[in-house]
Amino acid sequence: MSNLDAKLSELSDVGGFLGTCLVDHESGMVLAAIGGSESFDLDAAAAGGTEIMRSTNMAMRLMGGREQCEDILVSWPSQHHLIRVVPKDNGLFLLLALRTEVSNLALARRRLLLTADSVQI
């Protein structure tokens, strides 16, 4: 298991865990991933997260801002997707996907922040 996989596996005990991945938001390339299944396509979630990051950053530029997004929550009836920018490297983000009915968003967001802060490439 690589260091990145070990870091991501720390998120697998968050309630409702479906999967997590480290993504390059310029290319959409998944650098490391844990989870996913036949019914949950983690690569598709990463691609969607990439588009959300691009749109959010473009919106900030259009508003004249220079800040970069820190985190994003996308909710559907059955899933939550939390996106957290890795602060030490502007080009990467973590995506954590959870089942809505059993997840604790406050705990998940905190765990994702701690993991993102400790990722080293």
Q: What pLDDT does 67 receive?
A: 85
Residue 70: Cβ within 10 Å count: 12
Mean pLDDT, rounded, for 81-87? 95
pTM of the model: 0.93
Q: Please provide the average confidence, as pLDDT, over all residues in the chain.
A: 92
Mean pLDDT, rounded, for 1-25? 90
* Residue 1 confidence (pLDDT) above 70: no
Locus of tokens 């390059």: 24
81, 74 contact by CB (below 8 A): yes
Helices (H), the chain: 3-9, 42-62, 105-118
How many domains does the chain fold into?
1
What is the Cα–Cα distance from 1 to 97, expressed in whole angstroms? 21
CATH number of the domain enclosing 93? 3.30.450.30
Look up the domain containing 56 and give its range.
Answer: 3-118
Assign residue 15 a region (left: φ > 0; alpha: ψ between -120 and 50; beta: otherwise).
Answer: beta
pLDDT in tens, 94-109: 999 999 999 999 999 9
Q: What pLDDT does 22 receive?
A: 95
Give 36's pLDDT tier (boundaries 50, 70, 90): confident
pLDDT exceeding 70 applies to what percent of the chain? 98
pLDDT in tens, 67-79: 888 999 999 999 9
22, 30 contact by CB (below 8 A): yes
Higher pLDDT, 75 or 26: 75
